[in-house]
Amino acid sequence: MSEPTYVIGHRKPDTDTVCAALAYAELKRKRGEENVSTARAGDPNPETQFVLDYWDTEAPTLLEDAAGKQLVLVDHNEYSQTVSGAREAEIVEIVDHHRIGDVETSAPIPFRNEPVGSTATILVDLFDDADATIDAQTAGLLLSGLLSDTVVLRSPTTTERDRTVAERLADTAGVDIEEYGEELLAHKSKLGEKSPREMVLGDFKEFEFGSSRVGIGQVETVEPAVVLDRREAVLDAMDDVVSERGYDALLLLVTDLLKEESTALVAGDETATVEAGLDATFSDRAAFLPGVMSRKKQVVPPLETAFE
Amino acid sequence: MSEPTYVIGHRKPDTDTVCAALAYAELKRKRGEENVSTARAGDPNPETQFVLDYWDTEAPTLLEDAAGKQLVLVDHNEYSQTVSGAREAEIVEIVDHHRIGDVETSAPIPFRNEPVGSTATILVDLFDDADATIDAQTAGLLLSGLLSDTVVLRSPTTTERDRTVAERLADTAGVDIEEYGEELLAHKSKLGEKSPREMVLGDFKEFEFGSSRVGIGQVETVEPAVVLDRREAVLDAMDDVVSERGYDALLLLVTDLLKEESTALVAGDETATVEAGLDATFSDRAAFLPGVMSRKKQVVPPLETAFE
């Protein structure tokens, strides 16, 4: 059998990226597309592992090098977030809910990007377009992606469509949104067990803004003090990452899920640009960001503008 | 009233780009989006003017400078093909059927790209998604875009979906596909009246392949001899364009719609790269390309690979 087409999410996989890859591969098989595999660009985090166990699903295969392969990207569309070798791969399709990034193709391909709370939300539309049934297991995976990305429908990225889709998926999967969501959130962070470096790099994305390379990590928690009480050690870990990877700026958002606010920590030489972008002042390398919960919607756009 | 959002197609507008902008603005109004205008990035060509007259529709407004405005791009997604000022505009949505280009955004936006024969084909799906009726006039415009881009369903870019959609639109619009298509093709080229420069730049697209700038014009005609008999004058016009605009290569595809083949003329310093990309040999700056009808599908991808 020839090399399959891999449906794959972003590096540092989270629940939406892994579940979207699994569900979309499933839909493709239902649509009669043969030789489709699901892959991942890194190890599942504890929340995702909980989800896979709960819905009795095997993790996708780890793809170490995508060079020469055919890829369907889900939940991302920029090279800084793709699996190794993606620049030498053929990207044949994209389904995403982020900003439009730098992936270019030679030939026309299907690209469906929508500004909703999760990739899972878009996939439900694709199942409907194909008149394909969503079974309880797939509904459970999609619901997990949706609730994880929207912090159980609390994030400002949440749309009415996400709410409607979540209710339908919860019904099919046979779980209660709030109860199941609470279990998910509990697995999101076993923060106290993490090293400062793990706090910084646990949920981490890298961006190219003009000629600047910027890393932005985020810790979403109901106990921000667990991170902020170890502030000096976390800042040291951030400095290490900046010198290893040569970032112009590195930001860690410590987001309080209950109070709906964040504290940002900063490293790198471009603090003034970060301050201009976020309209905030850093004191001892920390700034308070009231109302900020979404990296994608509230942090990336103004920083990109400031750096360019 | 505040500045509207402009739905706009590519430079050197063709029928699909103009009709897609008109139809999508119409759909947006039906979906309740207020303050939407239709714009164009250049003058309608004779075929498009025939279509506008036939369906009793006013041409979109000419937008000379898009800086600072909100744009919905239809039928293109790369900056080299956008209206002036688009890099300083906010791109809020894209509907297209070409390769994925270099447009990036800060925030998540709807981007729907599908490998079908025309943007009109995708728009019919968007009308259906919104449960919106397509009236006879809009069906006529969409059908015109579809038949123009697919050379009346003969181009290799034509999909089964294009055929199904064309039949439905023809039915709603009350025209016969072959009869109306023939009228369209007749207006596509009043080739004999054109100057050599107009032949080169009439349907022209510019690409950035790696660090190379490449222009590719196309004349689709049932009488290729009208161009090829004036070959020396056409090559002179191509040389002029290369020196004015600093292209690394300029290609003119003279496509015979009946025989389904093309003759390519070349200018610029990179003929060897063009030969490698097209797997063809130029003799006296001309090469015969049997079976080649689509710039997008058969010429751009191999040239991009060769230049990068």
- What is the number of other CB atoms lying within 10 angstroms of the CB of residue A243? 10
- Please indicate whether, in this complex, the C-beta atoms of A104 and B101 are within 8 angstroms of each other: yes
Residues of B in contact with A115 (CB under 8 A): 107-110
- The percentage of residues in chain A with a pLDDT greater than 90, rounded to a whole number, is 86
Residues linked to residue A90 through DSSP beta bridges, in sequence order: A70
Type of residue at A283: S
ipTM here: 0.74
Q: Which residue did the predictor score with more confidence, B112 or A195?
A: B112
Residue A191, pLDDT > 70, answer no
Per-residue pLDDT tens over the stretch A37-92: 999 999 999 899 999 999 999 999 999 999 999 999 999 999 999 999 999 999 99
Which one of B187, B219, B239 terminates a domain?
B187
- Closest of B98, B66, B106, B107 to residue B85, by C-alpha: B66
Number of A to B CB contacts under 8 A, please give it: 77
Domain count, chain A: 2
Integer Cα distance of B156 and B133 in angstroms? 30
A179 and A199 fall within a common domain: no
Based on the fold, state whether residues A163 and A74 are members of the same structural domain: yes
Higher pLDDT, A187 or A95: A95
CA distance A34 to chain B (A): 19
- Residue located via tokens 């093909």: B81
The DSSP call for residue B191 is G
Rounded mean pLDDT, B145-153? 95
Cβ–Cβ < 8 Å for A268, A252 = no
Which of B137, B156, B187 is the endpoint of a domain? Answer: B187
CB < 8 Å to A114, chain B: 108, 110
**Same-domain pairing of A266 and A183:** no
The string of pLDDT tens digits covering residues A213-267 is: 999 999 988 788 889 989 999 999 999 999 999 999 999 999 998 788 999 999 9
Q: Is B95 found in the same domain as B16? A: yes
Domain boundary among A125, A153, A187: A187
Mutation site, B104, B126, B162, interface A, largest A CB count within 10 A: B104
Category of B75 on φ-ψ map: left (φ > 0), alpha (ψ -120 to 50) or beta: left
Chain A residues with CB under 8 Å of B107 CB are: 99, 115, 297, 301
Helix (H, G, I), strand (E, B) or coil at B236: helix
Instruction: Tell whether A222 and A269 lie within a shared domain.
Output: yes
Q: Are residues A69 and A40 both part of a single domain?
A: yes
Q: State the pLDDT at residue A1.
A: 57
CB A89 within 8 A of CB A71: yes
Average pLDDT over residues B66-88: 96
Instruction: Report the distance separating Cα A189 and Cα A50, nearest Å.
Output: 12
A285: DSSP letter: T
Q: Are B163 and B218 in a shared domain? A: no
Asked whether residue B298 falls in the same domain as residue B268, the answer is: yes
Q: Are residues A95 and A232 in the same domain?
A: no
Q: Which candidate, A124, A110, A118, A104, places its Cα nearest to that of A26? A: A124
Render pLDDT for B104-117 as a digit per residue (tens, 0 to 9).
998 999 999 999 99
* CATH number of the domain bearing residue B281: 3.10.310.20
Give pLDDT tens digits for B230-255.
999 999 999 999 999 999 999 999 99
The rounded distance, in Å, linking the Cα atoms of A206 and A186 is 26
CATH code for the domain in which residue A172 is found: 3.90.1640.10
pLDDT at B156: 84
Are A248 and A149 in the same domain? no
Q: How confident is the model over A197-210, as a mean pLDDT?
A: 91
Residue A158 has pLDDT above 80, yes or no: yes
- The rounded distance, in Å, linking the Cα atoms of A71 and A74 is 9
How does residue B223 score in pLDDT terms, banded at 50, 70 and 90?
confident
- Find the domain containing B99 and state its range: 5-187
Q: Do A174 and A237 belong to one domain?
A: no
Q: What is the pLDDT of residue B189?
A: 59
Regarding whether A200 and A183 lie in a shared domain, the answer is no
Q: Residues A140-169: what's their mean pLDDT?
A: 95
pLDDT surpasses 90 at B2? no
Chain A positions with Cβ closer than 8 Å to B:
91, 94, 97-115, 296-297, 300-301, 304-305
